Amino acid sequence: MPAESITITDNRTGDSFEIPIVNGGVASDQWRKALPDVMFHDPGFMATSACESAVTFLDGDAGILRYRGYPIEQLAEKSTYLEVAYLLLHGDLPTPEQYAGWVTDITYHTFIHENVRKRFLEGFHYDAHPMGMLVSAVAALSTFYSDAKDIHDPASRDKQIVRLIAKMPTLAAAAHRFSVGMPFVYPDNSLEFAANFLSMMWKVAEPRFAANPALAHALDVLFILHADHEQNCSTTAMRTVGSAHADPYSATAAAAAALYGPRHGGANEAVIRMLTEIGSLDNVSAFIESVKSGKGSRLQGFGHRVYKSYDPRARIIKQVADEVFEVTGRNPLLDIALKLEEAALSDDYFISRRLYPNVDFYSGLIYQAMGFPVEMFPVLFAIPRTAGWLSHWAELLEDDAKIARPRQLYVGAAERDYVPISDR
**360 has catalytic annotation:** yes
Please tell me which residue in 90, 113, 129, 264 is annotated as part of the active site.
Answer: 264
* Closest to 363 (Cα-Cα) out of 165, 219, 195, 170: 219
Nearer to ligand CMC, 220 or 311 (CB): 311
**Adjacency order of strands within the sheet including 15-22:** 5-10, 15-22, 25-26
**Residues comprising the chain, all counted:** 424
Nearer to ligand CMC, 249 or 302 (CB): 302
Please tell me which residue in 228, 247, 311, 360 is annotated as part of the active site.
Answer: 360
Please tell me which residue in 217, 226, 229, 304 is annotated as part of the active site.
Answer: 304
Least spacing, CB of residue 289 vs ligand CMC, in Å: 12
**152 has catalytic annotation:** no
Residue nearest ligand CMC, CB atom distance: 303
Nearer to ligand CMC, 78 or 263 (CB): 263
**264 has catalytic annotation:** yes
Least spacing, CB of residue 396 vs ligand CMC, in Å: 20
d(CA 108, CA 230): 29
d(CA 230, CA 58): 7
Nearer to ligand CMC, 22 or 351 (CB): 351
Nearer to ligand CMC, 116 or 299 (CB): 299
Least spacing, CB of residue 235 vs ligand CMC, in Å: 10
Least spacing, CB of residue 336 vs ligand CMC, in Å: 16
What does the buried/exposed string (b/e) look like for 281-298 if buried means 16 or more CB atoms within 10 Å of the residue's CB? Answer: eeebeebbeebeeeeeee
What does the buried/exposed string (b/e) look like for 358-369 if buried means 16 or more CB atoms within 10 Å of the residue's CB? Answer: bbbbbbbbbbbb
> What residues line the site for ligand CMC (CB under 6 A)?
229, 232, 263-264, 267, 291, 298-305, 353, 355, 358-360
d(CA 325, CA 161): 34
Least spacing, CB of residue 51 vs ligand CMC, in Å: 18
Least spacing, CB of residue 301 vs ligand CMC, in Å: 5
Nearer to ligand CMC, 8 or 338 (CB): 338
Point out the residues that are catalytic: 264, 304, 360
